[in-house]
Amino acid sequence: MENINWSELGFGYMKTNGNVRCEYHDGSWGKLEWHTDEYIQMHMAATCLHYGQEAFEGLKAFRGKDNKIRIFRLDENAKRLDSSCDGICMPKLPEGMFKEAVIEVVKKNVEFVPPYESGAALYIRPVLFGYTPQIGVNPAKDYLFIIFVSPVGPYFKGGFSTNPYVITRKYDRSAPLGTGIYKVGGNYAASLRAHEEAHKAGYSSEFYLDAKEKRYIDECGAANFFGIKDNTYVTPKSTSILPSITNKSLMQLAEDLGLKVERRPIPEEELSTFEEAGACGTAAVISPISRLDDLDNNKSYIFSKDGKPGPWSTKLYQKLRAIQYGDEPDTHNWVTIL
Ligand code: PLP
Ligand code: COI
């Protein structure tokens, strides 16, 4: 293992000791296996390559001051992968296998969990896909589940600092009755052009309205949205956004901190009433939004006048991180300690 500059890590892939895998054939899952090879060999007609039968997850492990490793909300990620599997006709993993696989891959790569002081974490990336060679559009008969890990720093440059976002009306990420609620690759393919264009124009990320009416807030690229006003944490209810586990946790923490919590459709006009706003997710943690531009209507929604994260976003961020790193008690039982 080479010398890693932990505090300079970005959000990228790094080779580690290995990955865990499990294969599905003839109607059942096999045993978990440890692999040091980063590559997989598959047939050129594999279903995932042509028809996108693929789902993934993203979660993190943190090293505390006490040197213990804590994995955040493992059970929630297991449930969401089950839901994604249902959503695109893939077999679910046997009960308990997700947890066992995550624990094994983290244990075997324990030296890649960044030190406490760095503020970095070990990103855990499970992926499950169909790979039967076939050209008919049908669910595959063979599947592969892999989990690899990589030490990562902040998703957005600068970590916990405000960033500008831009509303896109040109592209939809997912349809109201589509696959937006599942963590499947196709949603991300659908987002790439919007993301590239937003990036080129100097924004951190694109921002989606609902695909049907373009009236309500959906999400911020690969993260959920929340706004804060009148001591209330408001976050969208929509059939086309990913149910974020970070957002679910923040709703609970907001309540613990004495905020009211509302999960409901948020019309675009309401954006002008928020005192603070942010994007949230495993990779993004909380990424406070400085301003959201609506270029089609020559409008800007400003969520930070001095360019700094607002007081509630800061409190929520600190509370979440404190639980993840073990600085504060895990009163909701969110953490699995290795
Ligand atoms: N929305 C999308 C589209 C995402 O890709 C992610 C990242 O996983 C999120 C929201 C945030 O979800 P979570 O907090 O579970 O990571
Ligand atoms: C995550 O937050 O875990 C994500 O998956 C976001 C992105 C890297 C796809």
The atom of ligand 1 lying closest to the CA of 249 is: 14
Per-residue exposure over 121-152, b if at least 16 CB sit within 10 Å of its own CB, e if not: bbbbbbbbbbbbebeeeeebbbbbbbbbbbbb
C-alpha to C-alpha distance for 117 and 243, rounded to whole angstroms: 30
Q: Hey, which of 54, 155, 220, 287 would you mutate to test ligand 2's pocket, going by the most ligand atoms within 8 Å of its Cβ?
A: 155
CA of 252 to the centre of ligand 2 (A): 21
Cα-Cα-Cα-Cα dihedral sign, residues 86, 87, 91, 93: negative
* Closest ligand (CA of 73): 1
Atom 8 of ligand 2, nearest CA residue: 283
Atom 11 of ligand 1, nearest CA residue: 281
Residue 329's pLDDT is what? 97
Q: How far is residue 167 CA from its own chain's centroid?
A: 20
> Is the CB of 242 inside a 6 Å radius of any atom of ligand 1?
yes
C-alpha pair distances (Å), 135 with each of 54, 132, 288: 16, 9, 45
What does the DSSP assignment read for 267-294? BGGGGGG-SEEEEEETTTEEEEEEEEEE
Q: How far is residue 115 CA from its own chain's centroid?
A: 22
Atom 7 of ligand 2, nearest CA residue: 222
The atom of ligand 2 lying closest to the CA of 282 is: 2
Atom 5 of ligand 2, nearest CA residue: 58
Per-residue pLDDT of the chain (338 residues; tens, 9 = 90+): 668 999 889 999 999 999 999 999 999 999 999 999 999 999 999 999 999 999 999 999 999 999 999 999 999 999 999 999 999 999 999 999 999 999 999 999 999 999 999 989 999 999 999 999 999 999 999 999 999 999 999 787 767 899 999 999 999 999 999 999 999 999 999 999 999 999 999 999 999 999 999 999 999 999 999 999 999 999 999 999 999 999 999 999 999 999 999 999 999 999 999 999 999 999 999 999 999 999 999 999 999 989 999 999 999 999 999 999 999 999 999 999 99
Decide the pairing of beta strands 28-29 and 33-35: unpaired
pTM assigned to the model: 0.97
Residue 156's pLDDT is what? 74
Atom 4 of ligand 1, nearest CA residue: 222
The residues lining ligand 2, judged by C-beta closer than 6 Å to any ligand atom, are: 58, 222, 281-283
Cα-only R_g, the chain: 20
CA of 2 to the centre of ligand 1 (A): 31
* Closest ligand (CA of 58): 2
Say if residue 316 is exposed, middle or buried (CB neighbours under 10 Å; 0-12, 13-18, 19+). buried
Contact 163, 43 (CB under 8 A): no
Residue 154's pLDDT is what? 79
C-alpha pair distances (Å), 3 with each of 111, 114, 208: 11, 12, 40
Atom 5 of ligand 1, nearest CA residue: 222
* Closest ligand (CA of 180): 1
> Is the CB of 186 inside a 6 Å radius of any atom of ligand 1?
no
* Closest ligand (CA of 223): 1
CA of 220 to the centre of ligand 2 (A): 12
CA-wise closest residue to 276 among 316, 248, 305, 304:
304
The atom of ligand 1 lying closest to the CA of 220 is: 1
* Closest ligand (CA of 72): 1
Residue 3's pLDDT is what? 85
Residue 1's pLDDT is what? 67
Atom 9 of ligand 2, nearest CA residue: 222
CA of 8 to the centre of ligand 1 (A): 23
Amino acid at 240: S
> Is the CB of 278 inside a 6 Å radius of any atom of ligand 1?
no
The atom of ligand 1 lying closest to the CA of 59 is: 16
Two structure tokens written together for 47 = 């279903």
Phi, psi (degrees; rounded to nearest 5) at 220: -105, 90
